[in-house]
Amino acid sequence: MDVRPNDILVMKKKHPCGETKMLVVRSGMDFKLRCVGCKREFMIPRGKAEKNIKTILRESDKP
């Protein structure tokens, strides 16, 4: 899956604050994500994150 920094991931499960959108801060073996709602940053293994991604929003996709 092609996930790049500054992409916004719409996840299947909600963050505890209720938001489903996460900003990709860093990608590699792990993803460093920032919740769009509460701005909390966390690391998650790539395999676990890829299973939970519903859609990817990119800057180039926006009008």
Structure tokens at 33: 């994500």
Task: Please give the average per-residue pLDDT across 46-50, as a whole number.
Answer: 94
Structure tokens at 53: 């991604």
Count how many domains the chain has. Answer: 1
Local structure of residue 7 (DSSP, 8 states) = -
Task: Please give the average per-residue pLDDT across 32-55, as a whole number.
Answer: 96
pTM: 0.88
Q: CATH number for the domain including 38?
A: 2.30.30
| Domain-embedded: residue 19 | yes
Task: Please give the average per-residue pLDDT across 20-25, as a whole number.
Answer: 96
The domain in which residue 41 lies consists of 8-61
Structure tokens at 52: 């939970």
| Domain-embedded: residue 25 | yes
SS3 (DSSP) at 49: helix
| Domain-embedded: residue 47 | yes
Task: Please give the average per-residue pLDDT across 19-42, as a whole number.
Answer: 96
Local structure of residue 13 (DSSP, 8 states) = S
| Domain-embedded: residue 2 | no
SS3 (DSSP) at 27: strand
| Domain-embedded: residue 16 | yes
Give pLDDT, residue 59.
74
